[in-house]
Amino acid sequence: MRNPKLRTFIGAIVLTVMGLSASYSLNLFGVRDSLPPPAVREQAQN
Amino acid sequence: MAQVLDIRLEGSLEERQALDRRMYVGLFILFGILAVFLGFTRLPTAIGKFAVVDQASTSLNQTTFGQVINPESLRSGFAWVAHGINLWDANAIGMFFAILLGGAALNTVAFAPKSKIGSWLGKTGVAGAAIGGGIGVPLFMCSACSAPVSLGFFRGGAALETSLGVILGSSLFHPVSMLAIFLLMPIQMGLARIAFGLTLLVVVVPLVSRIARRNPASCPVPGVGGDPLNLLGLASESPTQLSWGRALADGGKGWVNNSLEFALKLGPPMLIAGFAVGIVFDLLPPQALSGTGLAASWVAIIIAAAIGTVVQVPGMFEIPLTLGLLALGLDIGPATAMLLATPSFGIISFAVTRKDLGWRIPASMLLATFVLASAAGLIVGAL
């Protein structure tokens, strides 16, 4: 892939995907439903 | 990074006037991103992890602190998919900022006067490795996420020792991890971690770099990966004639271009390598070591070092992982090997650095990690 514009375009797509992943991990959208570590779950249940 | 800034500010008046304003823009971007990363995500997260890091059950059947998908909920043979997704999720924030920091580091180093770069970031041997280690410590990143930052320095012109040192300083001398290890584990494990980190940093890195330079044909050359001056067609301009507005525009463009290039080259290998780590966790779960009857033998130490060398875990996760293994009955020897090898170089850092450094240098770091972690496990186990 030698075309600089194509490289920039695909790089922008990859970085956007990574940014969205990071936003999800940070729960910026309020949609994250991750499982906390078992120890934390146990504490919450107790 | 403080050394870099200090050197620029301590030069003579003529030297300071000759400094490229784009370098200051690069430094501003670099420290700005680092401040946002540390202040809003990494330090609060490290403190949050510290609160649960002493609970061995945190690591049971997990490869990260938090899960998006529970591996046990998938059909047999597909747990690696969950491990890969969970690892990507755990690394997503660090990796995203690492790409941006790598782009900013490349900008800063490449725009800076070469004479100054040559005197500090270009140092080889133990000094270069130590400088790299010092730069890495405040990043608070695992060895996967610190790799793009390291490549930013390398592509900008920093020595191989400095670039490898950034990865090891960040992953093995994470201040919160070190505190947790000394608070929660036997003292010999903490001392072994320090000895392991220092040996890799000041002995192995200079040695590997020196051997690599003996063969110029295959040795990677720093500073050729993407010079922002050439990239932007600015090489003919005199830095002293540059207005601050133009410097800001050029610095910003260079940073964006570098970051997109890093994302293109480093994002996909990191994703693929994350799933490879998931396969290793699926086939050879560290917890299984405790139930093999080998818990206290040298075989267990070798297996623990081998697993720890190839896999990678999010920052600090090696602590609950090791505590979990100890709680399940594993001896201190193999547990030490796991504690040392897991945060060091692994599959992901190999995949990320391979294109720039070739396969020999990251493979040598993997081998050194395995040998030294095995040796540390044997020594601590025999005490």
| pLDDT tens per residue, range A7-42 | 888 999 999 999 998 888 887 877 666 555 444 444
Residue B381 or residue B9, greater confidence: B381
Indicate yes or no: CB of B55 within 8 angstroms of CB of A36: no
Residue of B nearest to A10 (CA): B264
Q: Which residues of A touch B (CB under 8 A)?
A: 7-8, 10-12, 14-15, 17-19, 21-22, 24-26, 34-40, 42
Position B239 confidence tier, pLDDT thresholds 50, 70, 90? low
Q: Contact B105/B153 with Cβ under 8 angstroms?
A: yes
Lowest-pLDDT choice from B18-22, B92-96, B160-164, B209-213: B18-22
pLDDT at residue A45 above 50?
A: no
What sign results for the dihedral spanned by CA atoms B366, B372, B375, B379?
negative
With CA atoms as reference, report the closest residue to B215 among B367, B344, B369, B364. B364
In the predicted model, what is the mean pLDDT of residues B65-80? 79
Model confidence pLDDT, tens digit, residues B275-307: 888 888 777 777 677 655 665 678 888 988 998
The answer to whether residue B137 scores a pLDDT higher than 50 is: yes
The identity of residue B79, as a single letter, is A
pLDDT in tens, B335-354: 899 899 999 988 889 998 98
* 3-state SS assignment for residue B2: helix
**Separation in Å, CA of B220 to nearest CA in chain A:** 21
- The ipTM assigned to this model is 0.79
What pLDDT, in 10s, does the model give residues B180-208?
888 888 899 999 999 999 999 999 999 99
What three-state secondary structure class fits B62? coil
Find chain A residues with C-beta within 8 A of B263's C-beta: 11-12, 14-15, 18
Identify all chain B residues contacting A10, using CB atoms and an 8 Å cutoff: 264
Residue B269 pLDDT > 90, yes or no?
no
| Residues of chain B found within 8 Å of residue A40, distances taken between Cβ atoms | 52, 58
Mutate to test the interface with A, among B264, B319, B321 (most CBs of A within 10 A): B264
φ, ψ for residue A35, nearest 5 deg: -90, 120
Nearest CA in chain B to A33: B68
Residues in a beta bridge with B67: A35
Please report which confidence band the pLDDT of residue B17 belongs to, taking 50, 70 and 90 as the band edges.
very low
Give percent above pLDDT 90 in chain B: 22
Higher pLDDT, B263 or B70: B263
Rounded to two decimals, the pTM is: 0.82
Among B58, B95, B262, whose Cβ lies nearest the Cβ of A38?
Answer: B58
Distance CA B314, CA B308 (A): 13
Pick from B9-18, B40-49, B86-95, B369-378: least confident: B9-18
Could you give the residue ranges of the DSSP H alpha helices within chain B? Answer: 2-10, 13-18, 21-36, 43-52, 79-111, 114-119, 125-136, 146-156, 160-172, 175-184, 187-199, 205-213, 228-232, 244-283, 298-310, 318-327, 332-341, 347-357, 360-382
